[in-house]
Structure 1
Amino acid sequence: MTDHEKHIKELRKRAMRLPMNPGVYIMHDKTGKIIYIGKAKALKNRVSQYFGSEKNHDKKVRRMVANVEYFEYILTDSEFEALVLECSLIKQHMPKYNILLKDDKGYHYIKVTAGPWPRISEAKQIADDGARYIGPYVSSWATKQSVDEALKIFKLPTCTRKFPQDIGKARPCLNYYIKQCCAPCRGKISEEEYNEGVEEAIDFLRGGSAQCVRQLTQKMEEAAEAMEFERAARIRDRLAAIKRMGDRQKVVATRVPEQDVIALAQGAGTSCFEVFRFLDGRLCDRETFLVGETGNPKAARGEFIERYYSMRDRVPPRICLDGVAEGMELLRDWLSQKAGRKVVLSVPQKGEQAKLVEMCRNNAAEQVAQATGRTVREASALDELGRLLGMEKPPIYIESYDISNLAGSENVAGMVVFENGRPLKSAYRKFKIKTVEGQDDYASMHEVMERRIREYFDAQGKNISDGFGRLPDLILLDGGQGQVSAVKPVLEAAGLQIPLFGMVKDDKHRTRAIAFDGGEIAIHSNRKAFTLVSSIQEEVHRFAIGYHRQTRKKSTISSTLTSIEGIGPSRAKALLRHFKMITAIKNADLEELCAVPGMTKPAAQKVYDSFHPEAEKS
């Protein structure tokens, strides 16, 4: 037993002596620094779990436990008090292994530059540059969105050209041709008209669209009465642009006046929480938090809600989640007390709210994709597949198996690996079936999985963490319930809880469903997951077939050699290993054949005569 194992055993003994009371536990490293703070309904049960079998922990927990030198605890009268104390202590100590959120909610402003031809932009702080600053605003996203809307509605430039210096010096940019810029660079708009547009944009930003519409409508009517038809038409176009912008915003509007929508997307080493905040039924703010690896999604959601609303004064009456959070009832009570009114936590399954959650989740997947170098499609497909199969988190590392033979001869199997939704060809493996004679795909699949699991346990003693030394998040077999039933006992006997499913084809050899021990899951309606599973099934089939053809070819060549007198399997292998191809053996002279390890001169003569019968006759 190593020193680390002895230390973990000692920590478990101490944890087993803890009381069954609610409280907060605090983990320290060798330097005494606090690295994790958690709450528990029963301290003994919760803390002792950390120092049990590593198989029950995800990577994040294993890393944390490996750094624990000692722990302490504080008893509380209730689990609710433990939650409040936990929030306070995490704020104070910011432990490394807790979910920590960077609060960038500083003040933001709208900047209007001084001088002729003013520009409107977003600013993070007020500078002493003579510009006008409108604000402050709390949300950077809302400020940027408002500025972008105003610039598009009133067709104000976003380029770096300076006016009047650059007027007439170059062709207008693309924004002019798609009718999103009045293009002062063309010299067709006067400074007075331009400044009028800027002031109307400022009124729009200050007063909102409803007030701006009333003012513009009045100006349009006055211009029409004064027979200033060009000006009236220009104002009419701005009113139409405001309406189009409002129609676009209705896509992310909701009948619930005030609520937050929270979704989690997980990737390899990176996770993202996305928060959509709705006020007056309209999306008023959006926040993104990249938080590294999060492990169990239920626990991660619960911890995120604690951290997030510890930083926010405003708690809405309704919070929609993309999945169940750990301790939802406790969180509901805490949020209700913080808000001073009832707060509803829900996981919508259909309707408008479910669509909002899905949109929020897709945005989180976009952030994970950018952070991990994947495409949004890959990140979304893994997320959708994980949810479809009832997995706690997306399957980042997938292994797939297929058996290939010809009427029971040359029985082989192929294993392919997909990591982050992409083939990982360095991890592909080939198996020649050893214990099964004839065509028995179930028994063959059973043997392959036994050998794969045996390789995993052998690798553990050698500190190998890739290839066979790494367990997959998901196993997909080419076949139905029969293949799943054949392999499941192997995983159970090894004490491994790896999600296991089959990939079922239709009569045209296209992916139709996913099989499990007890039924099938239709996947056609889940387009992203369907495409990913189809790609995996096609790839594992191609790889297994390719290996089978290669084996059959070698077998045919080998049988050609072993038919020669004095050449057995060993010498046939030695010849193929040395010359690579049968053509090279045929073209070799007697001296080259004798140079092959294990060959004698008489045996070499037999090989030479076999390929050169005319020489033997002469």
Structure 2
Amino acid sequence: MTKAELHEKAKMLPLLPGVYIIRDKRDEIIYIGKAKRLRTRVSQYFREGVPHDAKVTQMIEHAFNFDVIVCQSEFEALVLEASQIKAHTPKYNILLKDDKGYSYVKITKEEYPRISAALQKEEDGAEYIGPFTSSFAVRQMVETAQDAFLLPRCNRRFPQEIGKGRPCLNAHIGKCMALCSGKISRETYNQAIQGAIRLIRYGKKDIVKTLEQRMEEAAERLDFEQAALLRDQIAAIKKVSAGQKVVVDESTQMDVIAFAGAGQNSCAAILRYRTGRLTDKREFLFRGTADLDALREEFLPRYYLDGEEIPKVIAVDVLPESHEALTQLLEETRGTKVQLYVPQRGDTAKLVSMAYTNAVERLARESGRTDRNQRLLDEAAAVLGLPEPPAVIESYDISNWGEGTSVCGMVVFENGRPKKSGYRRFKMRTVAGTDDFASMAEALSRRAAEYEKGTVGQFSVLPSVILLDGGKGQVSAVKAALAGTALAAVPLFGMVKDDHHRTRAIVTADGGEIAISMHRNIFTFISSIQDEVHRFSIAYQRQNQKKKSYASSLTAIPGVGPATAKALLAHFKSVGAVREAGVDELTNAKGVGQKAAQTIYDYFHPRTED
């Protein structure tokens, strides 16, 4: 069937919940989805002019037919979708691969064993603890054990290098027992290794009690060096335990999930908190998937219904459309109540922001962009919903001063940095009085006109984003002014401030708001742009006021009016230069004749009587 035929078929579907199954020419299932209203959802795939991300576009190109299963409720559709995806694993449904595989704790088999994290088992005679699904958790366990038992992390070989060379910095700051010094016996070292293994296997529940008992025994037999080492290990365990900060209530089981996108790639980051502490971090990368709302809708049930542990609390950046049905399904699967919500403030909201930052960082690493500014632009694109990072950002601000005079400042950020050669100012020509909306509209109209004329310089560049200092009024006025111009397709946003003159939110072209306070990097970046354009506009205002005051000092000269004063400043740039000029130089200024030049010269060089 052609795309048009599939669209006609979709228009005949009922406005009821259900599951749709899309097949290719070989009758193989390539995609399974659910819908609250089947007709609305399925027809969107095949309607002309509807934009899709790369993965969905490819799926539509291979679609030849589809079937639907009508359900009684959205919850029933969610359950059926999950079971069908699990049974058929369609090509274009998301695959939950976090690129980690299994990880192990490795204990080498040698005279002085070492503990480390390993990504796979090898036939090397070493002992392996695991497998664990999280490399993050394995690294954390190994580091905790090394800190607690003061184990060496250097590349020295033992026993070959014992007693050779000075102990490293870790020994001097109390993070290593300094096996290399020759003062630690093999028996003492191996006891520390066994303690570390026990800590990894069973936790710190009874390890401190055992070490305290051994310390007392060492002290009784006057083995003070051994007692001191055990004392240091006990202190290290307690310090490590204290350093593992409890960020939520110890009784709370919580997952924190956020999504980010950059270009045609997306990422889901999950932070797992158990007993109040971060115990695991997982990241799932999806290539060719840019629709974050659709990704949330499919990812969350897939993730938890594939056997993943369902915690009591799931904090997310945005609720999926079917969150009520999903919550019901999670509760039925877990057997107890589950809270699925978006935290608005407090520590949990900060954790969601941290998960989002991890997702953005993962996308930046994927694209090979390690530069801080590029990562910032990737994050800006994700927050503002842009198709790609904004290479050129133009920002505008209106500044008003006396007598109804207004100026609009324009600043440019290229690749995340200010491009001062691109800064421009617009002095209002058509707006009478103080009208920020009309002034902003005039400035952007003139900017668009300069681009369409082919003006060289900054005006020949089509910006990636336009940011206005202001809210809905400014955005609406500029949107109307740019309609029909080349700049109409450029994403347009407003920057609004709170009562303390700090950037509060971003206003979209349709009047909505994007909260940026929880995205610390973007909040700082947008604030710096807003501060810079405000500074630039105010500087022009002050410059004009300064010229005005200079001009007023020149009008004190007999016969010099405002026009002549303005001409003198335009020619000589400053009152001081006018003062130093000779009569012939003064006549070079526009509108200044020989008589006026002599008068000006005499004013600054009065004759003294003998």
TM-score strictly above 0.5: yes
Aligned to 1:121: 116
Aligned to 1:554: none
* Contact 1:433 1:444 survives alignment (8 Å): no
Aligned equivalent of 1:76, options 50, 70, 74: 70
Aligned to 1:337: 332
Change (3 A) 1:340 1:457: farther
In the alignment, the residues of structure 1 paired with residue 380 and residue 335 of structure 2 have an alpha-carbon distance, to the nearest angstrom, of 37
Asked if 1:148 corresponds to 2:143, the answer is yes
Aligned to 1:416: 412
Asked if 1:367 corresponds to 2:362, the answer is yes
Aligned equivalent of 1:258, options 253, 276, 294: 253
Aligned to 1:568: none
* Contact 2:262 2:381 survives alignment (8 Å): no
1:92-115 deviation digits (Å, cap 9, x = unpaired): 555565432215675543222222
Partner-residue secondary structure (3-state), 1:164? coil
Change (3 A) 1:35 1:110: same
In the alignment, the residues of structure 2 paired with residue 456 and residue 28 of structure 1 have an alpha-carbon distance, to the nearest angstrom, of 48
In the alignment, the residues of structure 1 paired with residue 245 and residue 54 of structure 2 have an alpha-carbon distance, to the nearest angstrom, of 40
Aligned to 1:279: 274
* Contact 1:257 1:279 survives alignment (8 Å): yes
Aligned equivalent of 1:487, options 475, 478, 485: 478
Change (3 A) 1:304 1:20: same
Change (3 A) 1:502 1:123: closer
In the alignment, the residues of structure 2 paired with residue 359 and residue 527 of structure 1 have an alpha-carbon distance, to the nearest angstrom, of 9
* Contact 1:385 1:529 survives alignment (8 Å): no
In the alignment, the residues of structure 2 paired with residue 429 and residue 64 of structure 1 have an alpha-carbon distance, to the nearest angstrom, of 42
In the alignment, the residues of structure 2 paired with residue 176 and residue 435 of structure 1 have an alpha-carbon distance, to the nearest angstrom, of 72
* Contact 1:263 1:322 survives alignment (8 Å): yes
Partner-residue secondary structure (3-state), 1:210? coil
Aligned equivalent of 2:159, options 156, 164, 171: 164
Shift of 1:271: 3.0
* Contact 1:383 1:393 survives alignment (8 Å): no
Structure 1: gaps of 5 or more residues = 1-5, 459-465, 549-618
Structure 2: gaps of 5 or more residues = 454-459, 542-610
Shift of 1:292: 3.7
* Contact 2:252 2:312 survives alignment (8 Å): no
* Contact 1:383 1:394 survives alignment (8 Å): no
Aligned to 1:242: 237
Which deviates more, 441-450 or 493-502?
493-502
* Contact 1:38 1:86 survives alignment (8 Å): yes
Change (3 A) 1:378 1:444: same
In the alignment, the residues of structure 1 paired with residue 303 and residue 350 of structure 2 have an alpha-carbon distance, to the nearest angstrom, of 23
Shift of 1:299: 3.1
Aligned to 1:20: 15
Aligned to 1:501: 494
Aligned equivalent of 2:529, options 517, 533, 536: 536
In the alignment, the residues of structure 2 paired with residue 29 and residue 540 of structure 1 have an alpha-carbon distance, to the nearest angstrom, of 53
Amino acid at match of 2:241: G
Shift of 1:266: 3.2
Partner-residue secondary structure (3-state), 2:245? helix
Count of residue correspondences: 533
Change (3 A) 1:412 1:41: closer
In the alignment, the residues of structure 2 paired with residue 506 and residue 337 of structure 1 have an alpha-carbon distance, to the nearest angstrom, of 46
Which deviates more, 164-173 or 375-384?
375-384
The 5 A counterparts of 1:467-478 are 468=462, 472=465, 475-478=466-469
Asked if 1:99 corresponds to 2:99, the answer is no
The 5 A counterparts of 1:128-527 are 128-252=123-247, 254-292=249-287, 294-372=289-367, 373=369, 396-397=389-390, 399-402=394-397, 414=410, 416=412, 422-423=416-417, 436=430, 442-443=437-438, 445-447=440-442, 449=444, 468=462, 472=465, 475-479=466-470, 483-490=474-481, 500-502=493-495
Which deviates more, 358-367 or 210-219?
358-367
Partner-residue secondary structure (3-state), 2:123? coil
In the alignment, the residues of structure 2 paired with residue 359 and residue 484 of structure 1 have an alpha-carbon distance, to the nearest angstrom, of 31
Shift of 1:152: 1.5
In the alignment, the residues of structure 2 paired with residue 7 and residue 456 of structure 1 have an alpha-carbon distance, to the nearest angstrom, of 42
In the alignment, the residues of structure 2 paired with residue 425 and residue 36 of structure 1 have an alpha-carbon distance, to the nearest angstrom, of 47
Shift of 1:235: 0.9
Change (3 A) 1:375 1:218: farther
Shift of 1:342: 3.3
Change (3 A) 1:213 1:377: farther
Change (3 A) 1:540 1:242: same
* Contact 1:262 1:273 survives alignment (8 Å): yes
Partner-residue secondary structure (3-state), 1:209? coil
* Contact 2:254 2:315 survives alignment (8 Å): yes
* Contact 2:24 2:63 survives alignment (8 Å): yes
Change (3 A) 1:207 1:521: closer
Amino acid at match of 1:476: L
* Contact 1:382 1:394 survives alignment (8 Å): no
Aligned to 1:67: 61
Shift of 1:231: 1.5
In the alignment, the residues of structure 2 paired with residue 238 and residue 109 of structure 1 have an alpha-carbon distance, to the nearest angstrom, of 24
In the alignment, the residues of structure 1 paired with residue 62 and residue 537 of structure 2 have an alpha-carbon distance, to the nearest angstrom, of 46
Amino acid at match of 1:241: A
In the alignment, the residues of structure 2 paired with residue 313 and residue 223 of structure 1 have an alpha-carbon distance, to the nearest angstrom, of 47
Amino acid at match of 1:277: R
Amino acid at match of 2:478: V
Shift of 1:44: 0.8
In the alignment, the residues of structure 1 paired with residue 513 and residue 253 of structure 2 have an alpha-carbon distance, to the nearest angstrom, of 40
Change (3 A) 1:437 1:309: closer
In the alignment, the residues of structure 1 paired with residue 447 and residue 69 of structure 2 have an alpha-carbon distance, to the nearest angstrom, of 47
TM-score by length of 2: 0.71
Aligned to 2:560: none
Shift of 1:117: 0.9
Which deviates more, 253-262 or 404-413?
404-413
1:170-202 deviation digits (Å, cap 9, x = unpaired): 444443333222233333323222222212212
In the alignment, the residues of structure 1 paired with residue 405 and residue 287 of structure 2 have an alpha-carbon distance, to the nearest angstrom, of 49
Asked if 1:40 corresponds to 2:14, the answer is no
